[in-house]
Amino acid sequence: MNLKRLFSDLLPVLLFTTIGFLVMGYHPGLEDDGVYLTAVKADLNPALYPHNAEFFTVQLQATLFDGWMAHFVHWSRIPLAWAELGWQLASLFLILWACDRIAKQVFVECRAQLAALAMVAAMLTLPVAGTALNIADQHLHPRNLATAFILIATSRILEGKRWQAVPLLMLAFVLHPIMAALGISFCVFLTLALLEPIPFRAWRDSLAAAAPLGWMFEPASPSWREALATRGYYFLYRWAWYEWLGALAPLFLFWLLSRVAQRHGETRLARFALAVFAYGVFQQLVAMVILTPSGLERLAPLQPMRYLQLVYIFMALVAGGLIGRFILKTKVWRWTVYLLVFNGSMFLVQWELIDDGTHLELPGVVSSNPWLEAFAWIKQNAPTSAYFALDPNYLSAPREDFHSFRALAERSQLADADKDAAVVTQVPSLGPAWHEQQAAQAGWPRFQLADFERLKTQFGVDWVLVSYPQPAGLACPWHNDALTVCRIP
């Protein structure tokens, strides 16, 4: 392939990577990044987080992501904030490049291929029914990179180079084992769907190989069940009707597409749709067994319904391709409306989700968010050994927007009620410590000096982040209009 052809192939992917990034936004330290970014920072500076570090270290024993990122920063000498941004862009590029390769295999028309790529780029933050996932995360997450490798493996299989998929799936596995197991499952079904004739008996015999990854089991405990109860999306049989619709309707649509495409002689599209349908039906059955009430409760943290992430990616890709083929065609004004409607609507949704309108939290940009201001002051001024207490429900506080204290303030904290509860569901041995710390922080909005002194005596906490104005008796070196940072005497 000459350079001119390579450039023409990569230019649309680069363009839609940029557009997709601008539409979805960038928020380091958000949600799950409270675990991953914190772990990377701890690898780079072991002096950080002398207290409660197990709330982010134990879970990450299943992935090489944090150690790999820390080594990359050491080797490249690129500051972590810029390295995270660079790899986020790289992961989005790889996802879209793989989708472009898949589109070229299932659609003949260039306009359909381009429209498929454009749709996936616009839908990167599309919520996946009932799973608390988007197609991609707005910060560097090992799931983004694992998804990219799974999609590249899919494109290799479609191109008849199935053995090249194996190392790609292994790379996905060391980054995010659960998502990689689901990716392996899909690749098994896709490989079988492309055989001639389709070996239905082999499909049946391959179910065990396609099942999701198991986990390191520990006995369930009351504190583990308490933490599990905070994860409503784990409980499939409590999903609302529209969440069930969001799970089952795409499977029906792929079944229908496989029938229609086969009838019109589009064998490759029909086989691809059939593979998505078969994979979805199998994984749905697995999920319904695992998540049966009072059944295999210890398997619930596997979150088997997250198989829908791949289904939603392929749904966006196929929907875009069909729109390009039958509606957009070569009409410039239709393409303009198409891009504006889908990108504009997703941009507005993401803009509204962040209360202070900071859509791109880029390195070096000073935020006016009161929580991020407080975290920045603590990072610059509080001792590395400081042990903080703050509202255990702070992640859902107004304007906080689920930014992690540990990841952004870079200091130890007592366990919170949300993200640390999610960690407990994966690591039951943390349950007793989490429960004890939650009980000690009950009634936080009414805390006075005596309550903070009790936390200091019980856990060694010596700093607090509280609402401004603060309760009497605390020594507070900094505040803004909403929050104040104080020492416990």
Span 116-137, pLDDT tens digits = 999 999 999 999 987 878 999 9
Q: DSSP E strands: which ranges in 137-178?
A: none
Over range 1-7, report the average pLDDT: 71
The count of other CB atoms within 10 Å of the CB of residue 472 is 7
> With bands split at pLDDT 50, 70 and 90, how would you rate the model's confidence at 299?
low
Instruction: List C-alpha distances in Å: 73 to 66, 374, 386, 407.
Output: 11, 26, 25, 16
Amino acid 216: pLDDT: 40
Buried b (16+ CB within 10 A) or exposed e, 313-326: bbbbbbbbbbbbbe
Q: Is the pLDDT of residue 364 over 60?
A: yes
Q: Average pLDDT of 424-451?
A: 90
Q: Dump pLDDT digits (tens) for 411-423.
A: 999 999 988 888 8
Find out whether 217 and 298 touch, Cβ atoms under 8 Å: yes
366 burial level (CB within 10 Å; 0-12, 13-18, 19+): exposed
- For the stretch 330-337, contacts whose Cβ atoms lie closer than 8 Å and that sit 24 or more positions apart, written own/partner, are 330/111
In 3-state terms, what secondary structure has residue 422? helix
pLDDT digits (tens, 9 = 90+) for 203-248: 444 444 444 433 344 455 666 455 555 655 566 767 888 888 999 9
What is the pLDDT at residue 209?
44
pLDDT beyond 70 at 356: no
Query: Backbone phi, then psi, for 373, in 5-degree steps?
Result: -60, -45
* Inter-residue contact 69 to 87 (CB < 8 Å): yes
Query: Given pLDDT bands bounded at 50, 70 and 90, which one contains residue 366?
Result: confident
pLDDT of residue 8: 76
- Asked if pLDDT for residue 297 goes beyond 90, the answer is no
Please give the Cα distance from 179 to 137 (Å, whole number): 14
What are the tokens at 438? Answer: 């939650």
